[in-house]
Amino acid sequence: NAGVTQTPKFQVLKTGQSMTLQCAQDMNHEYMSWYRQDPGMGLRLIHYSVGAGITDQGEVPNGYNVSRSTTEDFPLRLLSAAPSQTSVYFCASSTTASPLHFGNGTRLTVT
Amino acid sequence: AQSVTQLDSHVSVSEGTPVLLRCNYSSSYSPSLFWYVQHPNKGLQLLLKYTSAATLVKGINGFEAEFKKSETSFHLTKPSAHMSDAAEYFCVVSAVPLGGNQFYFGTGTSLTVIP
């Protein structure tokens, strides 16, 4: 049972480059979300989705795009990376009857 | 509106002594509450959850938490700390019962266990 799978685990980008962080879950959860974790700030919600075809912004959405074409996948796109986006990114999923299930995270460095 | 305040950013205890990590919440609804643990360079693991059943909730690794509505608190405790408990702990509130779709995180408490 894989749960929530995030790829890659590590990534280094140059300022202005774009990339996609992948997230997949095999639990048929309708709710998926992306968080970033920065020292002293806990986890902050970037974007979330309550089902295929439905996405919405969280607390810190600027500079990121998401889409939800299937229940299983919820990729996060950085359009033009900035040093301020250096962070650890977590994808999570849940249903209305469960807590959040997290992936193992992606550590992103933007130089 | 929902929010979570973890009252201590750092807690240090000696091995074998009790652990207390404090969490206060604010919620417009009857909340679901969770504690997660994150070991260095790892993901987040669920320790325990409260979803309007018994107010004293037991979790993994000997941790437990008590939901006190009158105090809007959900403090995490453990009778005897182990070295392996050293980690970051997050208190989380959910906007609707049984998980729902909006989760709010505290800023975390870093637990150090002194041998």
**pLDDT (tens digit per residue) in A28-69:** 999 999 999 998 888 999 999 989 999 999 889 999 999 999
Give the integer Cα–Cα distance in Å for A4 and A31: 12
Kindly determine whether residue A43 and residue B100, on different chains, have CB atoms separated by under 8 Å. Answer: no
pLDDT of A1 > 90? The answer is no
What DSSP element (H or E) covers B64?
strand B64-68
- Report the pLDDT value the prediction gives residue A108, as an integer from 0 to 100: 97
Burial label, A47 (beta-carbon count in 10 A; 0-12, 13-18, 19+): buried
Q: What percent of chain A has pLDDT over 70?
A: 98
Burial label, A86 (beta-carbon count in 10 A; 0-12, 13-18, 19+): middle
How near does any CA of chain B get to the CA of A94, in Å?
8
Closest to B92 measured CA to CA, from B16, B10, B34: B34
- Report the pLDDT value the prediction gives residue B99, as an integer from 0 to 100: 47
**Residue B4 — pLDDT band, cuts 50, 70, 90?**
very high
pLDDT of B98 > 50? The answer is no
Query: For testing the chain A interface, which of B44, B102, B109 should be mutated: the one with the most A CBs within 10 Å?
Result: B44
Output the DSSP codes for B13-51: EETTS-EEE-EEEE-SSPPEEEEEEE-TT--EEEEEEES
pLDDT of B30 > 90? The answer is no
Give the integer Cα–Cα distance in Å for A49 and B52: 25
Kindly determine whether residue B98 and residue A103, on different chains, have CB atoms separated by under 8 Å. Answer: no
3 state DSSP class of A85: helix
CB-closest option in B46, B99, B106 to A42:
B106
A50–chain B Cβ distance below 8 A for any pair: yes
Closest to B86 measured CA to CA, from B107, B65, B66, B61: B61
Residues of chain B positioned with their CB less than 8 A from the CB of A95? 99
Give the integer Cα–Cα distance in Å for A16 and B43: 28
- Report the pLDDT value the prediction gives residue A39, as an integer from 0 to 100: 84
A90–chain B Cβ distance below 8 A for any pair: yes
CB-closest option in B9, B42, B46 to A99:
B46
**Of the listed ranges A16-20, B13-17, B24-28, B56-60, the one predicted with least confidence:** B24-28
Kindly determine whether residue B92 and residue A96, on different chains, have CB atoms separated by under 8 Å. Answer: no
Residue environment code for A18-31, b if the CB has 16+ CB neighbours within 10 A, otherwise e: eeebebbbeeebbb
A41–chain B Cβ distance below 8 A for any pair: yes
